Amino acid sequence: MYSYETDTQTFSRRAVILGLGQLGLFGLLAARLQNLQITRGDQYGILAENNRVNIGLIAPLRGRILDRYGQEIATNRPNFQVIMIPEQTKDPIETLQVLEKLVPISPSRRRRLLRDIPRSRGFVPFTVAENLEWEQFAAINLNLPHLPGVEPQVGKLRYYPQDDIFSHMVGYVGRPDGRDLRRDDPLLKVPGFRIGKSGVEKQFDDTLRGSAGSRRVEVNNVGRVIRELARNPGAQGADLMMSMDSTLQNEAIRLLGEQSGSVVMMDVNSGEVLTIASAPTFNPNQFTVGLSQKEWDGLLDDQRKPLINKAIAGQYAPGSTVKMLIAIAGLEEKVITPKEKIVCEGLYELGGDTFHCWEHEGHGAMNMHDAITNSCDVYFYELARRLGIDPIEKVTKKFGLGSTSIPGAFGEKKGLIPGRDWKRANLDASWQTGETLIAGIGQGYMLVTPIQLAVMTARIANGGKEVVPKLLINPKDVQSDNRNISQASQGNLTMDDDGGEKTNSLVVDPEHIKLMHKAMTSVVNDPDGTAFGSRFNLRGVKSAGKTGTVQVRRISKDERESGIIPNEELDWHLRDHALFVGFAPVKNPKYAISVVVEHGGSGSKVAAPIAQKLLKMALERDRQPSKTKTARANAFNKTAKMKVDKA
């Protein structure tokens, strides 16, 4: 019956089987551990590190934008904020109610907070209010002992201390939108980060932005920060020094006033732009804190288009301001001599068509000088006919019309210099002689921008050198050891480093240019000149210029016979554009200017006075050089010192 031996043998055999099985499974565990910890150990080590370490970005301080004397155009001001960390409060909702009595909380933010706080992990901070006044911020600080979990915080906000006077050229910053976010920079996702949206702020965003700092923090499984492991403060953005003069810019904006127009003034040798103003303007500070829909609609609906930078994006027929170039073309092509007289009887006939001079009575016999001084249209109809369109196209382009003046500038338009090829390509028609005639007085297809007019005038004023406008000042010109000012100014905005010294000549006979100087001087200073009314005489220093009054409507034959309706009686948008280009001093010209007042009426009455006042002011400012130089040096020293402090 009971067999002890069989029983034991069976048991032993089976125990051995189980024992070996266990041993094998132990081997499996050991092999698995070897695989996890040795073979794939490094890989899992990285994964563990990725789990543990979060990298947070620290937004760099945006570089300032300064004017040529170091005055701040764009800077950063403290943004007083109130932060709440729900888990550190006694009751987040109650705390919110207390805070509401101390600082304004907008209804939409309040709704958002009430919705999000209960859902959040307690350690995630919420911004309760920002852009506070100092008094409100102080009130919070005073009450802190009774407000656990509430933290006052000072952020940075872009600030334009001069409000609206540089808005178009300097631009503004804003939240990165969808298109910006598609770029790879993780900095763009940092809450509250702003990027350049227009103007210089956009064009030189990379320079101004600086490089992001980072902090490596240890986090747990729900993302709570346990401790900070390392911090790299990053580099703040470089400052940009612009060529503009705040005083002149401010005066330009003031003189334009409620009118729609623009002013560009530049140094004829270095190309430095001292004033580049567009009116009406807007306050960029509103854009940083956020514009209401009403304010935004107001800007969009204004027929004077406040958001457009008219100095570089406004395109107008140049009118009579182009006559110097037609004259130069005539002399260069030798189709006319300065002395040859052409008789003006108020109109010019070609084929079946009649072309009118602005002076219905006629100017009589005019040589070149008189034709420019009086802005006689008939003279230039004849001259243009003799020239044909090709030389006109060549010379106007040579002087900077029809192409962008500041490569890369935000929103700059090219204007249009028409020619045979252009017409064939765009209108599929051959060029007509009548079109050449109206091109001779700067009407028709021809379109230019105010900056192009300033460049044209500067190139006439400097004797035919190919000067290029420059918006940034090379810090090397001022103080060589300052590296905080962007090096960008050496490249993007200018064709060469050293301003006017190496500029190419336009290969125009200097004698011909001299004739233009004389004629333009007479425009302003001779009693029969069109801008005589706004002349100035600053201890013998005078200015030269040329007016332009540009028709924006076709004047019918009937109207011409019954008497042309005066501008004042027309709707605003049908009135003539008022233009003026000029330079000063007459001897050794230094500054060139262009003024365009949209639908302003006559160039001599509206545009010329603005230009003359600004030229005079620029010359006056040059007589106090010691003051400005010190100001500039101080500005740089301050920046240099900031840099040292940071390092």
- Distance, CA of 474 to CA of 166 (rounded, Å): 20
Partnered with residue 356 across adjacent β-strands are 347
Tell me: does residue 51 bind another protein (CB under 8 A).
yes
Burial class (CB in 10 A: 0-12, 13-18, 19+), 136: middle
Token pair in block for residue 58: 């620290």
Q: Which is nearer to another protein, 37 or 303 (CB)?
A: 37
Q: Is 55 in the site for another protein (CB under 8 A)?
A: no
Residue 221 binds to another protein (criterion: CB under 8 A): yes
> What minimum distance in Å lies between the beta carbon of 147 and another protein?
30
141 binds another protein (CB under 8 A): no
Q: How far is the CB of 11 from another protein (least distance, A)?
A: 6
Does 647 interact with another protein (rule: CB under 8 A)? no
Q: Indicate the SS3 state at residue 305.
A: coil
Q: How far is the CB of 47 from another protein (least distance, A)?
A: 5
DSSP string across 135-195: HHHHHHHHHGGG-TTEEEEEEEEEE-TTTTTTHHHH--EE---HHHHTSS-GGGGSTT--E
Chain-centre distance for alpha carbon 318: 24
Q: Residue 235 CB, nearest distance to another protein (Å)?
A: 31
- Contact with another protein (CB under 8 A) among 90, 107, 184, 222: 222
* Residue 6 touching another protein (CB under 8 A): yes
Asked if 225 is part of the footprint of another protein (rule: CB under 8 A), the reply reads no
- Establish if 433 lies at the interface with another protein (CB under 8 A): no
Residues 179, 627: Cα–Cα separation, whole Å: 46
d(CA 45, CA 36): 10
Nearer to another protein, 22 or 630 (CB): 22
- Alpha-carbon Rg for the chain, nearest whole angstrom, is 35
Give the integer Cα–Cα distance in Å for 322 and 199.
28
DSSP 436: H
At residue 456, φ and ψ (nearest 5 deg) are -55, -45
| Minimal distance, residue 189 CB to another protein, in Å | 21
Residue of the chain from 97, 141, 220, 556 that contacts another protein (CB under 8 A): 220
Q: Is 425 in the site for another protein (CB under 8 A)?
A: no
DSSP string over 48-90: HHHHHEEEEEEPPPPPPEE-TTS-EEEEEEEEEEEEE-GGGSS
Shortest Å distance, C-beta 110 to another protein: 33
For residue 24, state whether it binds another protein (rule: CB under 8 A): no
CB-wise, 90 or 227, nearer to another protein? 227
* Piece of 34-42, 121-129, 298-306, 533-541 that binds another protein (CB under 8 A): 34-42
Q: How far is the CB of 63 from another protein (least distance, A)?
A: 38
DSSP per position, 369-406: HHHHHHT-HHHHHHHHHHH-HHHHHHHHHHTTTTS-SS
Cβ of residue 8: shortest distance to another protein, in angstroms? 8
Cα 567–Cα 573–Cα 574 angle in degrees, nearest 5: 45
Interaction of residue 572 with another protein, rule CB under 8 A: no
Question: Per the structure block, which two tokens stand in for 153?
Answer: 């915080």
Name the one range near another protein by CB under 8 A: 30-38, 192-200, 289-297, 516-524: 30-38
285 close to 163: Cβ distance less than 8 angstroms: yes
User: Can residue 292 be called a binding residue for another protein (CB under 8 A)?
Assistant: no
Report if residue 11 touches another protein, rule: CB under 8 A. yes
Q: Does 87 bind another protein (CB under 8 A)?
A: no
622 binds another protein (CB under 8 A): no
Query: CA 373 → CA 128, 322, 437, 605, distances in Å?
Result: 66, 13, 19, 15
Q: Per CB under 8 A, does 41 bind another protein?
A: yes
- If one asks whether residue 3 binds another protein (CB under 8 A), the answer comes out as yes
Using rule CB under 8 A, residue 518 touches another protein = no
Which string of x and - marks every residue 379-398 that binds another protein (by CB under 8 A)? --------------------
Cα 368 from chain centre: 40
Among 155, 174, 217, 226, binds another protein (CB under 8 A): 226
CB atoms within 10 A of CB 169: 29
Beta carbon of residue 272, minimum distance to another protein (angstroms, whole number) = 58
CB-CB contact of 533 with 608 (8 Å): yes
Tokens of residue 634, six digits: 């101080």
Question: Three-class SS of residue 598?
Answer: coil
- The three-point CA angle 347-352-353 to 5° equals 40
> Least distance in Å: CB of 46 to another protein?
8
Min dist CB 215 to another protein, Å, is 17
Query: What token pair was written down for 279?
Result: 């009116």
**Using rule CB under 8 A, residue 123 touches another protein:** no
Q: Is 560 in the site for another protein (CB under 8 A)?
A: no
> Judged by CB under 8 A, does residue 18 bind another protein?
yes
Q: In this chain, which stretch among 20-28, 67-75, 178-186, 538-546 interacts with another protein, using CB under 8 A?
A: 20-28
- d(CA 445, CA 485) in angstroms, rounded, equals 42
* Residue of 91, 144, 146, 96 whose CA lies nearest to 122: 91
Closest to another protein by CB, 87 vs 497, is: 87
Sign of the torsion formed by the C-alpha atoms of 415, 418, 422 and 426? positive
- Closer residue to another protein (CB): 36 or 55: 36
Does residue 343 interact with another protein by CB under 8 A? no
Q: Which of 130, 206, 218, 390 binds another protein (CB under 8 A)?
A: 218
Q: Does 230 bind another protein (CB under 8 A)?
A: no
Region from 25-33, 66-74, 122-130, 451-459 binding another protein, contact rule CB under 8 A: 25-33
Give φ, ψ of 98 to 5 degrees. Answer: -65, -45
Q: Which span sits near another protein by CB under 8 A: 19-27, 467-475, 556-564, 583-591?
A: 19-27
Is 229 a binder of another protein (CB under 8 A)?
no
Residue with Cβ nearer another protein (230 or 555): 230
CA distances from 334 to 354, 387, 512 (A): 26, 9, 11
- C-beta closer to another protein: residue 121 or 254: 121
Q: Does 38 bind another protein (CB under 8 A)?
A: yes
Positions that interact with another protein (CB under 8 A): 1-3, 6-8, 10-12, 14-15, 18-19, 22-23, 25-26, 28-30, 32-34, 36-38, 40-41, 43-45, 47-49, 51-52, 218-222, 226
